[in-house]
Amino acid sequence: MIVFHLARADNGVIGRDGGLPWRLPADLKRFKAQTMGKPMVMGRKTFESFPSPLPGRRHIVLTRDAAWAAPGAEVAHSPEAAIALAGAGEVAVIGGAEVFALFLDRADRIELTEVHVEAEGDAKVPRFGPEWQETAREDYPAEGTHPAYSFVTLERSA
């Protein structure tokens, strides 16, 4: 099973300058809980945005650069190779935008944090199409410097 994990602003922005354009501790806590113990597939830029590999998870990095390597990363050069490396069970696809586009036709579920802001950024993911059905939603108001957000689960319709 392939599950996307992402936070996206209302205008589609998911990143700015290699990082997140907002700070949402609840989203980071949810991401950790949902990905712990699972293989995570990501692009090189996403991997390099972490200060170090995230504990308790495998980091499968999809890159076109045949010479790229980094401590804590398992390298794949195609979506098929990344899936083969991940093995059986749930695979967490965590970005960036190009990686989400590569895996969209294979994804079974999307764990989305809708961040209710119009963010400035250089990485965007468009809205998901009609083949995705919302199966869960939790809405949270803005609090202090943190914007309002919603935790949403989308599942591919049959």
Residue 27 in this model has a pLDDT that exceeds 90: yes
We find that the CATH architecture of domain 2-127 is 3-Layer(aba) Sandwich (3.40)
Q: What are the boundaries of each domain within the chain?
A: 2-127
pTM assigned to the model: 0.95
User: Does residue 158 have a pLDDT over 80?
Assistant: no
SS3 label, residue 130: coil
Tens of pLDDT, residue by residue over 69-90, are 999 999 999 999 999 999 999 9
Nearest to 61 by CA among 71, 5, 19: 71
How far apart are alpha carbons 134 and 142 in whole angstroms?
A: 22
